[in-house]
Amino acid sequence: MKTIDSIDFSGKRALIRVDFNVPLNDQFQITDDNRMRAAVPTIEKILSDGGSVILMSHLGRPKEGPEEKFSLKHLNGHLSKLLNRDVLFAGDCIGDEAREMAGKLEPGQVLLLENLRFYKEETKGDEAFAKKLAELADVYVNDAFGTAHRAHASTTIVAKFFPEAKCFGYIMSNELASIDKVLSDTKKPYVAIIGGAKVSSKIDIIENLLDKADELIIGGGMMFTFIKAQGGKIGNSMCEDDYLETARQIMSAAKARGIRIHIPADAIIADSFSNDANTRESSADNIPNEWLGLDIGKNSIKKFGDVIENAKTILWNGPMGVFEMSKFEEGTRSIAEAIVKATRNGAFSLIGGGDSVAAINQFGLQDQVSYVSTGGGALLEYMEGKILPGVKAIEES
């Protein structure tokens, strides 16, 4: 892996693709700065080598050119605090201003460029646009794992203008090393926990896991497609009828390969999709009409906990229930706690995918697992065995 530690940045200008796509409130204040904080070690390494840094990112989804609410200038003050130094800002990511400011950078200085997606050329992967970005610097560093599955100008195309001077930043290399730990040479037993709303969005990852995991735990809304596929009565619970056959195929493939697949036997059911609903425990395959399952039940929590605590490698993607509502968070919380316990006992645990990350943060357990991935779509595609264009662009010469 071409990591940042293999380059001496002394006297060099580094162009870093960061993921500063952070949420802002109505006053343009940052409400969650995790992505910015995560990039600090990469920036610091270059500055302490005696290099200078040019940061480029997207923010939000601007439609037609510049939009005030998506300007990266709103991030500048906070970034200066995080880096403990003034950060310069160029009001355009290419053009005269950016070129002049980049050209004048002294060692130790940091320049933040305006939102890349103010140009359609960014998401189109336009080569001329990528070349203009490349002209700003001597070295290219990709530290935006969350967009590594996109062949955009700043994530992929730009790399070709730095054939001898490109590398991954620390976020990227940590992500890749951590995901590789659940993809190859895994310590056994390997338990994969897949939840969330839909089977349809997790098919590829489940199929990939059938080659790797020893035990597969299924929870969340998608469990009801599996339960119905086996003839269960699921009331009004979430179900994808088009995927009943797929669910059956997954179960028989798992059986044929000797993988134990765990589907909840009990559930917390509710008479409406609401935190004020009436609730009760029920067997998961005998839910009355008009009621719907919104969390896994006590027996499943106990059984899944035992399986997880015995694991040596754990992948968790997707919540066990509607954890955003306090009445239905118990299953997801218990699974998170079991993962923490297993990690304390020496297991490697990777939490990935937007909603399981939100869940582990909600429970305050994010520091007690081995790795929390920052990349939703990128993580899934990498796990499915796809080659990420942003990764390939750095690795190929």
How far, in Å, CA of 202 to CA of 215, rounded?
16
Q: How far is the CB of 268 from ligand AMP (least distance, A)?
A: 9
311 vs 322 by CB, closer to ligand AMP: 322
How far, in Å, CA of 201 to CA of 383, rounded?
13
Using CB under 6 A as the binding rule, whether residue 196 contacts ligand AMP is answered as yes
Using CB under 6 A as the binding rule, whether residue 221 contacts ligand AMP is answered as yes
Q: Which of 51, 235, 319, 352 binds ligand AMP (CB under 6 A)?
A: 319
220 vs 389 by CB, closer to ligand AMP: 220
Using CB under 6 A as the binding rule, whether residue 205 contacts ligand AMP is answered as no
198 annotated active-site: yes
Contacts (CB under 6 A) with ligand AMP, residues 341-370: 353, 355
Using CB under 6 A as the binding rule, whether residue 321 contacts ligand AMP is answered as yes
Name the active-site residue from 12, 13, 17, 35: 35
How far, in Å, CA of 90 to CA of 73, rounded?
9
Q: Which stretch binds ligand AMP (CB under 6 A): 8-16, 24-32, 112-120, 313-321?
A: 313-321
Using CB under 6 A as the binding rule, whether residue 384 contacts ligand AMP is answered as no
How far, in Å, CA of 77 to CA of 87, rounded?
8
377 annotated active-site: yes
How far, in Å, CA of 204 to CA of 335, rounded?
23
Q: How far is the CB of 230 from ligand AMP (least distance, A)?
A: 17
**DSSP string covering 108-128, please?**
T-EEEEP-GGGSHHHHHT-HH
Q: How far is the CB of 272 from ligand AMP (least distance, A)?
A: 12
Q: Which of 171, 254, 322, 394 binds ligand AMP (CB under 6 A)?
A: 322
Burial class (CB in 10 A: 0-12, 13-18, 19+), 245: exposed
Q: How far is the CB of 378 from ligand AMP (least distance, A)?
A: 15
Q: At which residue do the structure tokens 């610097």 appear? A: 137
Using CB under 6 A as the binding rule, whether residue 238 contacts ligand AMP is answered as yes
What are the residues whose beta carbons fall under 8 Å from the beta carbon of 282, sequence distance 6 or more? Answer: 266, 267, 268, 269, 288, 291, 293, 297
Q: Which stretch binds ligand AMP (CB under 6 A): 115-123, 162-170, 175-183, 316-324?
A: 316-324
**DSSP string covering 177-223, please?**
HHHHHHHSS--SSEEEEE-SS-STTTHHHHHHHTTT-SEEEE-STTH
187 annotated active-site: no
Q: Could you tell me the two tokens for 46? A: 């270059």
Q: At which residue do the structure tokens 């700043």 appear? A: 154
95 annotated active-site: no
371-372/292-296 β-pairing: unpaired
Residues with a known catalytic role: 35, 198, 354, 377
Q: Which positions touch ligand AMP (CB under 6 A)?
A: 196-198, 201, 220-221, 238, 293-294, 318-319, 321-322, 324, 353, 355
